[in-house]
Structure 1
Amino acid sequence: MSDAIQHECGLAYIRLLKPLSHYHVKYGTAVYGLNKLYLLMEKQHNRGQDGAGIASVKLDVAAGHQNMHRLRVSGQQAIGKIFQNINEEVGELEKMYPNILQHPGFLKGYMRFAGEILLGHLRYGTQGKNNIEFCHPFIKPHINPTRNLAMAGNFNLVNTDELFNMLDSHPTGTMRESDLGAMIETIHYYLCMADDTNPESLNIEGVLKQATTHFDGGYVFSGLIGNGDSFVMRDPNGIRPCYYYVSDEVVVAASERAAIMTAFNVTKEQVIKLAPGHAIIISADGTFKDVEILAPRQLTACSFERIYFSRGSDPEIYRERMQLGRNLADTVLKSLDYHLKHTIVSFIPNTAETAFYGLIKGLEDYLKDITLQRIYARKDNITEDEMRELVYRRVRIEKIAIKDAKLRTFITEDASRNEMVQHVYDITYGTVERGVDTLVIIDDSIVRGTTLKESIIKMLDRLGPKRIIVVSSAPQIRYPDCYGIDMSRMGDFIAFQAAVGLLADTGREHILTDAYNRCKEAEANGGLKEENFVKAVYEPFTAEEISNKIARMLKHKDVNTEVDVIYQSIEGLYNACPNDRGDWYFTGNYPTKGGNRVANKAFMNYMEQKEGRGY
Structure 2
Amino acid sequence: MTTTCTHTNPGGCATLKVKVHSPGADQETSEGESGRGMCGIVGMVSTGPVNQDIYDSLALLQHRGQDSTGMATLEGGGFHIHKAKGQVKEAYRTRDMRKLRGTTGLGHVRYATKGSAKREEEAQPFYVNSPFGIVLVHNGNLTNTRELTAQLHDQDRRHLNTTSDTELLVNVLARELQVAQDGKDFNPQQLFTAITRVHERVEGSYAAIALIAGHGLLAFRDPFGIRPLVLGRRQAGLLGTEWVVASESLVLESGDYDIVKDIAPGEAVFISTGGELFEQQCSPSPQMYPCSFEYVYLARPDSTMNGISVYEARLRLGDRLAATIAKHAPVKDIDVVMPIPDSARPAAMQVARRLGIEYREGFYKNKYVGRTFIMPGQAQRTKSVKQKLNALPSEFEGKNVLIVDDSIVRGTTSKEIVEMARRAGAKSVTFTSAAPPVRYPHVYGINMPSSSELVAAGRTIPEITQEIGADYLIYQEVEDMKDAILEGSDITELDMSCFTGEYCTGNVDQEYLDWLEGNQSS
Is the Cα contact below 8 Å between 2:69 and 2:91 reproduced in 1? Answer: no
* Structure 2 residue aligned with 1:134: 122
Which amino acid counterpart does residue 48 of structure 1 have in structure 2?
Answer: G
2:265 to 237, 253, 276: 276
In structure 2, what is the Cα distance between the partners aligned to 1:296 and 1:79?
Answer: 41
* Structure 2 residue aligned with 1:541: none
The offset of 1:601, in angstroms, is 1.4
The offset of 1:418, in angstroms, is 8.3
Which amino acid counterpart does residue 324 of structure 1 have in structure 2?
Answer: L
2:501 to 564, 568, 588: 588
Which amino acid counterpart does residue 328 of structure 1 have in structure 2?
Answer: L
Is the Cα contact below 8 Å between 1:479 and 1:599 reproduced in 2? Answer: no
Is the Cα contact below 8 Å between 1:9 and 1:121 reproduced in 2? Answer: yes
1:86 to 96, 105, 114: 96
* Structure 1 residue aligned with 2:101: 114
Select the structure of larger CA radius of gyration. 1
The offset of 1:452, in angstroms, is 2.1
2:180 to 191, 194, 203: 194
* Structure 1 residue aligned with 2:143: 158
The answer as to 2:40 corresponding to 1:51 is no
Per the alignment, do residues 7 and 162 of structure 1 end up closer, same or farther by CA in structure 2, a change over 3 Å counting?
A: closer
Deviations 1:140-170 (A, max 9, x none): 125xxx4311111101101122112223257
Query: 1:453-602 maps to which residues of 2 (within 5 A)?
Result: 453=415, 455-498=416-459, 546-555=460-469, 563-578=471-486, 579=491, 581-597=494-510, 600-601=513-514
Structure having the larger proportion of residues in strand: 2
In structure 2, what is the Cα distance between the partners aligned to 1:582 and 1:492?
Answer: 20
Greater displacement, 479-488 / 112-121: 112-121
The offset of 1:83, in angstroms, is 4.9
So what's the TM-score if we normalise by structure 1?
A: 0.69
SS in 2 for 1:246: strand
Query: 1:405-424 maps to which residues of 2 (within 5 A)?
Result: none
In structure 2, what is the Cα distance between the partners aligned to 1:448 and 1:599?
Answer: 21
Flag structure 2 segments of 5+ consecutive residues without an equivalent: 1-35, 235-239, 371-377
* Structure 2 residue aligned with 1:425: 389
Per the alignment, do residues 397 and 141 of structure 1 end up closer, same or farther by CA in structure 2, a change over 3 Å counting?
A: same
The answer as to 2:338 corresponding to 1:352 is no
In structure 1, what is the Cα distance between the partners aligned to 2:106 and 2:384?
Answer: 41
Is the Cα contact below 8 Å between 2:45 and 2:273 reproduced in 1? Answer: no
In structure 2, what is the Cα distance between the partners aligned to 1:397 and 1:425?
Answer: 18
Per the alignment, do residues 419 and 573 of structure 1 end up closer, same or farther by CA in structure 2, a change over 3 Å counting?
A: closer
2:59 to 21, 39, 42: 42
In structure 2, what is the Cα distance between the partners aligned to 1:433 and 1:299?
Answer: 47
2:295 to 302, 306, 331: 306
So what's the TM-score if we normalise by structure 2?
A: 0.81
SS in 2 for 1:445: coil
Is the Cα contact below 8 Å between 2:55 and 2:88 reproduced in 1? Answer: no
In structure 2, what is the Cα distance between the partners aligned to 1:137 and 1:419?
Answer: 30
Is the Cα contact below 8 Å between 1:238 and 1:301 reproduced in 2? Answer: yes
The offset of 1:600, in angstroms, is 3.6
Identity rate, percent? 27
Flag structure 1 segments of 5+ consecutive residues without an equivalent: 1-5, 21-30, 62-66, 90-111, 365-394, 408-413, 499-545, 556-561, 606-610
SS in 2 for 1:451: helix
Query: 1:2-81 maps to which residues of 2 (within 5 A)?
Result: 7-16=37-46, 18=47, 20=48, 31=49, 33-59=50-76, 67-74=78-85, 76-81=86-91
Is the Cα contact below 8 Å between 1:480 and 1:602 reproduced in 2? Answer: no
The answer as to 2:166 corresponding to 1:180 is yes
Structure having the larger proportion of residues in helix: 1
The offset of 1:275, in angstroms, is 0.6
Greater displacement, 345-354 / 397-406: 397-406
Is the Cα contact below 8 Å between 1:584 and 1:590 reproduced in 2? Answer: yes
Aligned residues: CA RMSD: 2.8
Is the Cα contact below 8 Å between 2:226 and 2:291 reproduced in 1? Answer: yes
The offset of 1:297, in angstroms, is 3.4
Deviations 1:277-329 (A, max 9, x none): 00111235543122101134332100100011111112510000011111111
The offset of 1:84, in angstroms, is 3.0
SS in 1 for 2:302: coil
In structure 2, what is the Cα distance between the partners aligned to 1:567 and 1:124?
Answer: 27
Deviations 1:66-98 (A, max 9, x none): x21211111x233543253335x4xxxxxxxxx
Deviations 1:31-73 (A, max 9, x none): 3x222212211111111111111111123x6xxxxx2121111
Which amino acid counterpart does residue 327 of structure 2 have in structure 1?
Answer: K
Per the alignment, do residues 134 and 275 of structure 1 end up closer, same or farther by CA in structure 2, a change over 3 Å counting?
A: same
In structure 2, what is the Cα distance between the partners aligned to 1:400 and 1:432?
Answer: 7
Per the alignment, do residues 174 and 50 of structure 1 end up closer, same or farther by CA in structure 2, a change over 3 Å counting?
A: farther
